[in-house]
Amino acid sequence: MFPWNNKQFPFDQSGFMKHLNKMNPKDVESYIQNVMKNVFSGDFTQGFPFQGNMTGNDPSGFPFQGDFSKSETQVKPQPEIFETNDFVYVKLPLSSKDNKNLKLQHTNHQLILINYPKENEQSKYMLPSPVKRKGTRARFLDDYLEIQFIRLDESNISEIDISY
């Protein structure tokens, strides 16, 4: 797709423009959609607000216009995720009857909710910064589940040698 074999690629923009003009926009769009699905696993559009119609089926040409009728499928609840200097907080709407079979798991960068929003479903949410494996707390307050992660302090600095 791109002329990576050309050793002067960053400097030879005329060759790049020839290849760019030959590209089919639908092929590029489908490739990007495929990569995004592989990277973010599942419906990646949930993590990016105001993306509009990502399928390209909007006849009006305006991606931000949509039909907000009740006939649409129910969207899973989105948590509030925010961070402070020391912590990352996730505030998730959850009724007291729904929290019986809920299981929480996390990696350094992702929160995984098992049996949420429905039984036998799994939801994944990206965290804004890396968090520690230990020390996470979760508590249920006023129909919300509040999860507190300890931020991982990445203060390791590596020096890079420059070759001339």
Phi and psi at 66, nearest 5°, equal -155, 170
Residue ranges of the chain whose pLDDT lies below 70: 1-17, 19-20, 41-74, 98-99
Letter for the amino acid at 88? V
Tokens linked to 68: 């907000």
Taking the model in full, what pTM does it have? 0.51
pLDDT of residue 32: 82
Q: How far is CA 144 from the centre of its chain?
A: 22
Q: What is the pLDDT of residue 130?
A: 92
Domains of the chain, earliest start first:
1-53 (no CATH), 80-150 (2.60.40.790)
Asked if residue 49 has a cis previous peptide bond (ω within 30° of 0), the answer is no
Answer for the pair 36, 44: CB distance below 8 angstroms, yes or no.
Answer: yes
Question: Tens digits of per-residue pLDDT, 61-107?
Answer: 445 445 544 444 567 778 999 999 999 999 999 877 766 788 999 99
User: What's residue 15's pLDDT?
Assistant: 64
- 125 beta partners: 111
Give the angle subtended at the CA of 46 by the CAs of 41 and 50, to the nearest 5°: 135
pLDDT of residue 12: 58
pLDDT score, position 108: 92
The whole-number pLDDT of residue 10 equals 56
